[in-house]
A and B are shown apart, each in its own frame.
Chain A
Amino acid sequence: MTRAVSRVSDGAAERGADRVPERRLSASARPSGGALALLLAQVRAEFVSSLRAPDFVIGVVAIPVLLFLMFGPPNARWTLPEGTRISTMMMPGFGAFGILSLVLFAFGVEIAQERGKGWLRLMRATPVPAWVYLGGKLAMSVLFAIVTLLALFAAGAAFAQVRLEALQWLQVFGVLLAGGVALAPMGFALGFLARPRAASTIGNLVFLPLSFASGFFFPLSQLPAFLRDLAPFLPTYHYGRLIWSSFAPAADITAYTGIEPTGTLVSVGWLVGTFVGFSLLAGWAYRRDRRRDEG
């Protein structure tokens, strides 16, 4: 935080201290109750306000499930060399697609638009630290991600013959969520970098090609060769690789993607690097936005 006071001499501080006016609380004022209550209120407000935007719910929850229902069941009869069904590989692919859309739209575009509307400006004049705002967005997105994944898993089991062990279900669920949190700073960076009106366009420009080139829609092995050369340089491809590794044999992943494995550690490294790199970028963009707002 920038200090607005350029320099306070000790004398001035003492003079100021004995003249500090007392708090004048109204009779009806009450303590508002702690950081946890604040965070809960923030998350609830985010959740409620997102639920009321039908385009948001449809875009984030319904579209991945619907797309999977279109492409998953017809591919359930094909299996990879070690026996994994194509539909089983596609299901978490569409999950990753949905979570990427949460990252870019629920964070990125929403933040950019709320910046444009001046809500952040008003919040900055209150005692609330910025992390409450970002934490509220993150928690809300995790909630929506859980809903999306549960719907997708149910659709997979019911209509696309997805059969996994209990532990595998849990693992794929956990990797999808954890990887989503690792990608979240991409959204924060977009939210604070993009001009409010441009954010949605930029979000779409990043989102669709990235999902496609990471093999979230169709197996990379079926796509043009240059995409297979490009994919290992995309953090989202490594996200997908980790997701598939949580339940499928390595040979099946190689067959499905058409890309030789680079190792779990490399993929984890890519996600950690993305998290750190975009966090730094988002922090810089946040400070730049605040400075601009300060003039």
Chain B
Amino acid sequence: MIVEMRGVEKRYGDVQALAGVDLAVAPGEVVGFLGPNGAGKTTSIRVMLGLTAPTRGEARLFGGAPDRREARGRVGVMLQESGVPTSLRVREVVALFAHYYPYALPVAEVLARAGLEDKAEALVSALSGGQRQRLYFALAIVGDPDLLFLDEPTVALDVEGRRAFWRQVVGFVELGKTVLFTTHHLAEADAVAQRLVVIDKGRIIAEGTPSEVKRRVAARTVRFRAPLDVAALAARPQVQRVDAEPGGLTAVYTSEPEGLLRELFAEGAELRDLTVTDADLEAAFVALTGERGVAA
């Protein structure tokens, strides 16, 4: 296993950031860590990287302590709230970082993989937010790591930037590398990850392929207009969650839409504007964590 966490707990004062996390990541996997802010995603990454020691339990990276230099030399990271010296040029920063690792990719290749060829001579201070994010990606891959940790890598990017970013990541995965990323953009986790780990309040609450995660929870969203009592709907056994949406629509998250609708029709309910859709991850996520407003 490349990453292993066994019974990892992490406590910051009174706050239990991780409450017993078990996880194993095999070579070549692309694993998405999904959860609302404060769920424990970043703490998990920091424990796996050996930047934070767990209060209890054990984390292993490449079969040993995560903070040993040998392990660090095989890992590339994009952290939140990191910075680079702003009075260096892009090429200079990448070339410097290449020296930090035992093996390095040629600077020109790294710049090409990160889409920064035409910014090679630009000062870091002159980069836009998106370009800076690409520079962090370049720094993460310059050591030719076996494992990439990306903590909320697309948070500063627009839709087009995100798409381009994930193309670069996929290009790196094709080299046989392993990627572990966190996000609260559910759609991109769905599109990129082979395996999803849903974390909330410091616990893993669901794990599997994106389609498994979706199946396990509210697989369908049923929407309609009807004068039905929301609380009574939510109390039905097939229903995971009910939302009153703007515009008078009622959204019901359920894994058994057919049974639910059969019952409602049998009771004589009049449902207007009825639609049944595949739950997107967001809906799955809402049903799992019981929280709203997770996605940006």
Contact = CB atoms under 8 A, between A and B. Distances in A.
Contacts of A16: 1, 4, 60, 63-64
B53 A45 contact: no
B101 interface: yes
B103 A32 contact: yes
A129 B69 CA distance: 9
B264 to A, nearest CB: 49
Contacts of B103: 25, 29-32
B73 A127 contact: yes
B96 A45 contact: yes
A37 B85 contact: no
Secondary structure at the A interface, as helix, strand, loop or mixed, is loop
Interface string A10-48: 001100110111011110111111000110011001001
B112 to A, nearest CB: 11
A154 to B, nearest CB: 28
A287 B138 CA distance: 29
Contact of A41 (B53, B54, B67, B95): B95
B177 interface: yes
Interface stretch (B42-50, B160-168, B236-244, B286-294): B42-50
A30 B83 contact: no
A21 B2 contact: yes
B97 to A, nearest CB: 7
Contacts of B146: 21, 23-24
Given A1-B67, A7-B58, A49-B87, A127 B100 contact: yes
B49 A125 contact: yes
B23 interface: no
Given A24-B175, A48-B88, A294 B144 contact: no
A128 B53 contact: no
Given A126-B72, A126-B143, A29 B104 contact: yes
B92 interface: yes
B77 to A, nearest CB: 5
**In the complex, which of the residues B53, B57, B83, B97 has the most CB atoms of chain A within 10 Å of its own CB atom?**
B83
Contacts of B1: 16, 19, 21
Interface in B169-222: 175-177
Nearest to B176: A24
Contacts of A24: 27, 146, 175-177
Contact of A123 (B70, B100, B176): B100
A33 B99 CA distance: 7
A98 B232 CA distance: 77
A29 B51 contact: no
A49 B92 CA distance: 10
Contacts, number: 162
Given A19-B1, A53-B87, A126 B100 contact: yes
Contacts of A124: 51
A31 B102 contact: yes
A125 B53 contact: no
Interface in A95-147: 114, 117-119, 121-129
Contacts of A295: 12, 17, 43, 46, 52
B66 interface: yes
Contact of A17 (B51, B63, B97): B63
A10 to B, nearest CB: 13
Nearest to B75: A125
A49 B83 contact: no
Contact of A122 (B17, B43, B84, B87): B84
**In the complex, which of the residues A42, A119, A295 has the most CB atoms of chain B within 10 Å of its own CB atom?**
A295
**In the complex, which of the residues B77, B79, B92, B99 has the most CB atoms of chain A within 10 Å of its own CB atom?**
B99
B98 interface: yes
Nearest to A45: B96
Contact of B69 (A20, A53, A127): A127
Contacts of A129: 69
A41 B1 CA distance: 34
A33 B70 CA distance: 16
Nearest to A4: B50
A52 B139 contact: no
Given A52-B87, A125-B49, A5 B59 contact: yes
A122 B92 contact: no
A126 B98 CA distance: 10
A49 B83 CA distance: 14
Contacts of B109: 28
Interface in A238-265: none
Nearest to B108: A28
A243 B64 CA distance: 52
A119 B50 CA distance: 17
A3 B65 contact: yes
8 contacts: A4-B59, A16-B63, A24-B146, A26-B175, A30-B105, A48-B87, A48-B92, A122-B139
Interface of B: 1-2, 4, 12, 17, 26-27, 43, 46-47, 49-54, 56-60, 62-67, 69-70, 72-75, 77, 79, 81-88, 92-93, 95-106, 109, 123, 139, 143-144, 146, 175-177
